[in-house]
Amino acid sequence: MRRGWLRFLAPLAAVAVLLSAGGFLALETDTVGDYGDGVVWALSLMTTVGFVGGAPHTTAGKLIAAALMLFGFGLLAMTTAAVASLFVREDEQPEERRERAFETEVLEELRDLKVRLDRLDRREA
């Protein structure tokens, strides 16, 4: 598994938190008092902690919250998978080297057999 997507997903998560904070500030005036509160609220939702200071009251606020929760859960799962793949990759490397060596050996044997068969064909012709 390639982990290059983490370079793009982490900044995207930061942008999602900052934009959502502004959305919460505009929509959830009863719960979110200033932009800083919106950032804390969005960050807590993305990190799967939950609501800080109460749940959203507006439908748009609930949709933003749901999107942040899903995005945060996906980000957490993908990051965990990327870290786990590092350990799996280390375990698989010796086996992959043995397989490559075996494949190389088999290909050399096949080439030798082809050369022998070509010689036999020329003798018979």
- Sequential DSSP letters for 43-112: HHHHTT---SSS---SHHHHHHHHHHHHHHHHHHHHHHHHHHHHHHHHHHHHHHHHHHHHHHHHHHHHHH
Say which CATH class 6-91 falls into. mainly alpha
52-101 per-position pLDDT tens digit: 777 888 899 899 999 999 998 888 888 888 888 877 777 677 788 888 98
Q: Is the pLDDT of residue 23 over 90?
A: yes
The pTM is what?
0.63
